[in-house]
Amino acid sequence: MEARSAAPRLGRHPVGWPRWSRTPEDVRQELWAYLAVHHAIRQFAHATALVRPVVDADRVSYLKCVRIVRRSVPSHLGATATKLTRSFAEAEWEARARLLPARRVTSMITAAISAGAVLISSAAAAWITHYFTGRTERRRQEHADIQEAAKREHEARLSHEQRIREQVIATSTTISKMLQDFRAKIGEATEAADTLAATLLYDECSAIVRRHHDDALPVIEVMPDLELRRRANAVFESYGGWAEGTAEALSNLTTRPDAAGLDGTREQYYERARRVIREASD
């Protein structure tokens, strides 16, 4: 006890425990050993911080430093080396106790970050897929709607043009039949033996025109162009009016009406019909 109390006391070292030396030589050897340990730990911690700056050098390198220094203690230190080895073993267990909780927390944090990253990436991928899929579907639907509208418009235009053509053809056919019957009856009236017979034939011409006009009215009245309707009716009215005027002139012994304007009304109708068909096809 006296020898232990007489020896100088080194105090607590950062990597070891309080140590007591029996002789000055032991004190010197133990001091140099602790200085070597301290120097080795500082060098290794500094190197670890340079290589892995994101790692806590004081925590991570502590256990490794202890293991390296344990293997680096010179064997010629004798009893001091034995003390250092035992001190290093205690420090190693202390380092494990310090590092394990931090590692558990780090693992939990890393797992939470990884799970959050996976969740966020999955949600982002799902949203991006839904967004671009929906936008592509909307564009495809809009394109399909535009094509469908253009198709319907084209079909409506073709239908309108076809309807106009059919109406013009039907009216023109009726006018042609009316002219055939009208000219045949006019020929008979011209060759009539007397004025009374001629008057009756002109009355029949007027009746023929009215009959053909009545046949053409259902088609004429549904024509979309007002001017075309007016000119179609004018053809029948002009021929019918001329026949009635001629019959009255023969009965009253007056001047017959001029027939020069009859062909003009028919040409005006055909001109307007061609224009309406051309506008419908444009």
Boundary of a domain, candidates 118, 139, 174: 118
99 shares its domain with 20: yes
pLDDT at site 164:
92
212 shares its domain with 112: no
Cα–Cα distance, 89 to 275 (Å, whole number): 112
18 shares its domain with 85: yes
pLDDT in tens, 61-116: 555 555 555 555 444 444 444 555 555 555 555 555 544 444 455 566 777 787 78
- Whether the full predicted model's pTM is greater than 0.75, yes or no, is no
Q: Is the residue at 30 inside a domain?
A: yes
Boundary of a domain, candidates 92, 118, 144: 118
92 shares its domain with 175: no
Asked if residue 240 lies in contact with residue 246, where contact means CB atoms within 8 angstroms, the answer is no
Distances from the Cα of 235 to the Cα of 92, 176, 268, 274, angstroms: 122, 11, 9, 16
76 shares its domain with 162: no
The residue behind tokens 């202890």 is 66
Boundary of a domain, candidates 66, 88, 118: 118
Q: What angle do CA 56, 57, 62 make, to 5 degrees?
A: 115
Asked if residue 102 lies in contact with residue 63, where contact means CB atoms within 8 angstroms, the answer is no
Q: Is the residue at 61 inside a domain?
A: yes
- What proportion of the chain, given as a percentage, has pLDDT over 90? 30
85 shares its domain with 199: no
Q: Is the residue at 127 inside a domain?
A: no
Arithmetic mean of pLDDT, 18-35: 56
167 shares its domain with 113: no
Q: Is the residue at 204 inside a domain?
A: yes
pLDDT in tens, 180-220: 999 999 888 888 878 888 888 989 999 999 999 999 999 99
196 shares its domain with 271: yes
pLDDT in tens, 229-272: 999 999 999 999 999 999 988 888 888 888 888 889 999 999 99
186 shares its domain with 260: yes
Burial of 242 (0-12, 13-18, 19+ CB in 10 A): buried
Mean of pLDDT over the chain: 74
Q: Is the residue at 141 inside a domain?
A: no
Q: Is the residue at 113 inside a domain?
A: yes
178 shares its domain with 276: yes
- What proportion of the chain, given as a percentage, has pLDDT over 70? 62
25 shares its domain with 110: yes
**Residue 16 domain boundaries:** 2-118
Q: How many domains does the chain have?
A: 2
Arithmetic mean of pLDDT, 47-51: 53
